[in-house]
């Protein structure tokens, strides 16, 4: 029977809910430090998530607010470096946990000899810091490749970051599974022809993912099962490699 050979993970919003109480807070701290009169509220930040990439998000916001100082790309990089420092500081305080079921499923996949990989828009240091903080020093080595940030010219929703991962793993897209939380992530994985499991969050629960293998609240734990939002009549579940295998086998 055909089986998935690799699980490819998005980071922000999928491994952990990093956006509202992590990245957003760090952006605001950086704006303050640089002397910019900007404060991104939770609602505004939700809208700005349509733009992937921190530098790109700042650039977009400034260009749509002409009364604000229009920074050079060098200054945007400086503000973004400050933001990364604040974000890393925030991660080391350990207040951002992994989402339910993530640590369990990663461990189960390792035991089942399914390759693990990461495909994310965020800065590489942010990924390694999150992994270290939540899964320990060695967890970086669980992943065959951590593809992150500016290594591709076109960020999500373009398929590029997933294609880099597939090329490194040496497998065709239909033998991988992507884990995503957002529309941009979904489109990125789908444009690379990879089947996607969606775990939505407060910023993405209204979105529709018609071709997802499953859309869930989260991955679930045996004591805290997750609802399937695309099949509300199904019993809540805790996603395992066995269940993913069953969904995978139904792909036509
Ligand atoms: C994540 C992003 C990133 C983070 C900020 O999207 O869009 O921009 O918000 O990270 P995805 P940087 O989960 O789809 O990869 O500031 O390091 O870019
Ligand atoms: Mg995401």
Tokens of 45: 């930040």
Query: Coil, strand or helix: which one is 88?
Result: helix
Compute the radius of gyration of the chain from its Cα atoms: 18
**Ligand 1 atom index nearest CA of 11:** 13
Contact 209, 52 (CB under 8 A): no
Contacts of 186 (CB under 8 A, 6+ apart): 157, 180, 196, 198, 207, 209, 212
Active site residue 193: no
**pLDDT tens digits for range 184-195:** 999 999 999 999
Angle subtended at Cα 239 by Cα 176 and Cα 185, rounded to the nearest 5 degrees? 50
User: Of 12, 17, 160, 181, which is the active-site residue?
Assistant: 12
**pLDDT tens digits for range 71-96:** 999 999 999 999 999 999 999 987 89
CA of 155 to the centre of ligand 2 (A): 12
**Ligand 1 atom index nearest CA of 188:** 14
**Residue 158: predicted pLDDT:** 98
Check if 217 has its Cβ closer than 6 Å to any atom of ligand 1.
no
Question: Which ligand has an atom closest to residue 14 CA?
Answer: 2
**pLDDT tens digits for range 200-218:** 999 999 999 999 999 999 9
Q: How confident is the model at residue 233 (pLDDT cuts 50, 70, 90)?
A: very high
Nearest alpha carbon to residue 119 among 101, 100, 143: 143
User: Omega into 215 within 30° of 0, i.e. cis?
Assistant: no
Q: How confident is the model at residue 220 (pLDDT cuts 50, 70, 90)?
A: very high
Nearest alpha carbon to residue 97 among 200, 15, 216: 15
Tally of CA atoms within 13 A in the half-sphere of 63 that contains its CB: 11
DSSP 99: P
Q: How confident is the model at residue 2 (pLDDT cuts 50, 70, 90)?
A: confident
DSSP codes joined into one string, 37-80: -----HHHHHHHTTS-SHHHHHHHHHHT-TTS----HHHHHHHH
CA of 181 to the centre of ligand 2 (A): 5
Minimal-distance CA residue to ligand 1 atom 16:
54
Cα–Cα dist 5/109, whole Å: 10
Check if 201 has its Cβ closer than 6 Å to any atom of ligand 1.
no
Sheet with 143-148, strands from edge to edge, namely 143-148, 115-120, 6-9, 176-180, 196-199, 214-216
**Residue 69: predicted pLDDT:** 95
Distances (CA, A) of 141 to 62, 114, 234: 38, 14, 36
Minimal-distance CA residue to ligand 1 atom 7:
52
Check if 238 has its Cβ closer than 6 Å to any atom of ligand 1.
no
**pLDDT tens digits for range 92-137:** 987 899 999 999 999 999 999 999 999 999 999 999 999 999 999 9
Is the C-alpha dihedral spanning 77, 57, 7, 140 positive or negative? positive
């Amino acid at each position: 029977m055909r089986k998935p050979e690799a699980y490819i993970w998005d980071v922000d919003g999928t491994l952990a809910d990093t956006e509202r109480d992590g990245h957003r807070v760090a952006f605001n701290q950086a704006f303050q430090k640089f002397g910019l009169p900007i404060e991104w509220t939770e609602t505004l930040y939700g809208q700005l998530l349509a733009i992937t990439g921190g530098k790109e998000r700042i650039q977009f916001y400034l260009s749509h607010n002409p009364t604000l100082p229009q920074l050079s790309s060098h200054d945007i990089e400086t503000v973004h470096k400050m933001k990364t420092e604040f974000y890393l500081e925030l991660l080391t305080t350990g207040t951002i946990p992994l989402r339910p079921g993530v640590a369990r499923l990663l461990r189960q996949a390792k035991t089942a000899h399914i390759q693990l990989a990461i495909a994310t828009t965020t800065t590489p240091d942010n990924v390694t810091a999150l992994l270290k903080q939540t899964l320990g020093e060695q967890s970086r080595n669980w992943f065959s490749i951590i593809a992150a940030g500016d290594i591709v010219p076109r960020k999500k929703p373009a398929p590029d970051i997933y294609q880099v991962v597939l090329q490194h793993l040496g497998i065709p897209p239909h033998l991988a599974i992507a884990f995503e939380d957002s529309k941009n992530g979904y489109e990125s994985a789908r444009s690379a022809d990879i089947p996607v499991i969606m775990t939505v969050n407060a910023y993405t629960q209204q979105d529709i993912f018609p071709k997802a293998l499953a859309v869930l609240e989260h991955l679930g734990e045996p004591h805290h099962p997750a609802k399937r939002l695309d099949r509300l009549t199904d019993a809540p579940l805790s996603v395992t490699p066995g269940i993913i295998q069953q969904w995978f086998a139904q792909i036509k």
